[in-house]
């Protein structure tokens, strides 16, 4: 497999002193950290859409990406992309990929033609998977690009659109199962609204729940045992996306009694668009037993949209991996690079360099997070900070054996309160120290 990116060799691990842009500095896939190989902690995945299909167009300009298969079209283009995808993943030692139905084959003139196109490409992908050992992390459906989805998919006012979206998810689940996908993702697409002046929000949310309930039932029916994931995002493409953030999705799932069937796929750039840190969204998911998988990217804090940049921020990757380690691992989820090269980075080797920096950023984050955890730096500080709940009145609160009257009696006798410093800057200094030395 050396056809499309023949000027690029297999990417070696060269260590932190390397100055070779086409080598890993921190990602040493078989290195054992906390009893597990780095690659099994990180479970990196390639996003088919940004990597193979994305062409660099933006609202102001046409495609810019120089790709060796640019002169092809239709099914020939789709087939070439499969080969190129597996060549790229093999050279970068990426173990998984994620895809939308529309990423891998053309839409076709009818739904049946769409199905037929998918079947041909899925067989080709299966062949390549067997050849390389690369696996499918998750599949999903694109129910937002085609004009039929102008007003949403399952939240469209048009019931025929609801039915079409169901047909698409049904097929996408079947092919994800055929490819051994370990998860199936629902990102909201255009499930949201532009104005409430023309919207029945109650009906739209009920319909979204009806749709997800049917999807869950169909997954069970065909024996798809992967995790079902919802990917929160607050805005874009609609002004208000229903799956706003982790907390909104959790309360939606609980309202419709779907909380045992769906977990969350947390994306860094969506967290910041929602006014949260990436850490906050992962943490919120973890403590609600809902952390399913991660879309690893980053936004630009000066821009208010989903720039989907390759992650380079070691502070963020550290805190992300900290939560992943606390959870006991991200499997069956993984770290999917829902990231794209900038429009100006149009050469094919930019793709490789971008994945390398993203993978190194998370490998380094894993090392730092593990050291922080092993030394119990934050753990001991936090448990000490809350130690007033270990005995006395605090323990009574935790054990549920007190009430407002008893608490008031207690407070009357203990009204000279003394607090302890939160030591934020001290902790920030310590985290920095672990970043320097790990
Ligand atoms: C868009 C989403 C999308 C999902 C998959 O903002 O991140 O790429 O991950 O549909
Ligand atoms: Ni996104
Ligand atoms: Ni995403």
- Tell me the β-bridge partners of 34: none
Q: What residue owns the CA closest to ligand 1's atom 3?
A: 187
DSSP characters over 198-240: G--HHHHHHHHHHHHHHHHHHHHHHT--SEEEEE--SSSSSSE
How many C-alpha atoms does 101 have within 13 Å on its Cβ side? 31
Residue of 103, 243, 245, 308 marked active site: 103
For residue 295, what are the CA distances in angstroms to 42, 213, 269, 337, 357? 12, 24, 9, 6, 15
Residue 100 among the catalytic residues: yes
pLDDT at 71: 97
pLDDT at 1: 80
Q: What residue owns the CA closest to ligand 1's atom 6?
A: 306
**Cα–Cα distance, 380 to 133 (Å, whole number):** 41
Q: What residue owns the CA closest to ligand 1's atom 10?
A: 187
Which is the closest atom of ligand 1 to the Cα of 187? 10
Positions in the chain whose pLDDT score sits under 50 = none
Whether omega for the bond prior to residue 237 falls within 30 degrees of 0, making it cis, is yes
Range 41-50 burial, b when 16+ CB lie within 10 A, else e: bbbbbbbbbb
**Cβ–ligand 1 contact at 306 (below 6 Å):** yes
- Pocket residue to mutate for ligand 1, from 138, 165, 183, 338, most atoms within 8 A of Cβ: 338
Please answer whether residues 190 and 237 qualify as being in contact, where contact means their C-beta atoms are separated by less than 8 angstroms: yes
| Residue of 161, 171, 189, 166 lying closest to 121 (CA atoms) | 171
Residue of 100, 270, 276, 280 marked active site: 100
pLDDT at 312: 98
- CA distance between the termini of the chain: 35
Residue 240 among the catalytic residues: no
**Cβ–ligand 1 contact at 295 (below 6 Å):** yes
């Amino acid at each position: 497999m050396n056809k499309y990116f023949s000027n690029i060799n297999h990417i070696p691990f060269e260590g932190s002193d390397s100055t070779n842009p086409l080598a890993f500095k921190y990602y040493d896939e078989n290195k054992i950290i906390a009893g597990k190989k780095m690659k099994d902690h990180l479970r990196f995945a390639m996003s088919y859409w940004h990597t193979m299909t994305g062409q660099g167009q933006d609202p102001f300009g046409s495609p810019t990406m120089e790709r060796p298969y640019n002169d092809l079209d239709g099914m020939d283009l789709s087939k070439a992309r499969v080969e190129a995808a597996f060549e790229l993943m093999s050279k970068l030692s990426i173990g998984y990929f994620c895809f939308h139905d529309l990423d891998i084959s053309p839409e076709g003139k009818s739904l049946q033609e769409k199905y037929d196109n998918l079947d041909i490409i899925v067989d080709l992908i299966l062949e390549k998977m067997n050849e390389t050992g690369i696996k499918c992390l998750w599949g999903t459906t694109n129910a937002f690009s085609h004009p039929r989805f102008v007003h949403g998919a399952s939240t469209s006012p048009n019931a025929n659109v609801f039915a079409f979206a169901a047909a698409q998810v049904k097929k996408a689940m079947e092919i994800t199962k055929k490819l051994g996908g370990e998860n199936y993702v629902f990102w909201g697409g255009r499930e949201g609204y532009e104005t409430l002046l023309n919207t029945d929000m109650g009906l739209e949310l009920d319909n979204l729940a009806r749709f997800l309930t049917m999807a869950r039932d169909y997954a069970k029916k065909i024996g798809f045992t992967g995790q079902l994931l919802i990917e929160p995002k607050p805005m874009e493409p609609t002004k208000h996306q229903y799956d706003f953030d982790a907390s909104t999705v959790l309360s939606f799932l609980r309202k419709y009694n779907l909380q045992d069937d769906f977990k969350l796929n947390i994306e860094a750039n969506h967290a910041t668009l929602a006014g949260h840190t990436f850490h906050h969204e992962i943490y919120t998911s973890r403590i609600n037993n809902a952390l399913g998988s991660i879309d690893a990217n980053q936004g630009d804090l000066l821009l208010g949209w989903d720039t989907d940049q390759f992650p380079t921020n070691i502070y963020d990757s550290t805190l992300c991996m900290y939560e992943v380690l606390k959870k006991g691992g991200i499997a069956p989820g993984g770290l999917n690079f829902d990231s794209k090269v900038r429009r100006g980075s149009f050469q094919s080797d930019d793709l490789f360099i971008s994945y390398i920096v993203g993978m190194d950023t998370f490998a380094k984050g894993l090392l730092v997070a593990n050291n922080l955890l092993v030394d119990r730096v934050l753990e001991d500080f936090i448990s000490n900070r809350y130690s007033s709940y270990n005995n006395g009145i605090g323990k009574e609160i935790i054990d549920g054996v007190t009430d407002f009257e008893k608490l008031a009696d207690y407070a009357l006798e203990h009204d000279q309160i003394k607090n302890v410093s939160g030591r934020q800057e001290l902790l920030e200094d310590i985290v920095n120290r672990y970043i320097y030395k790990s």
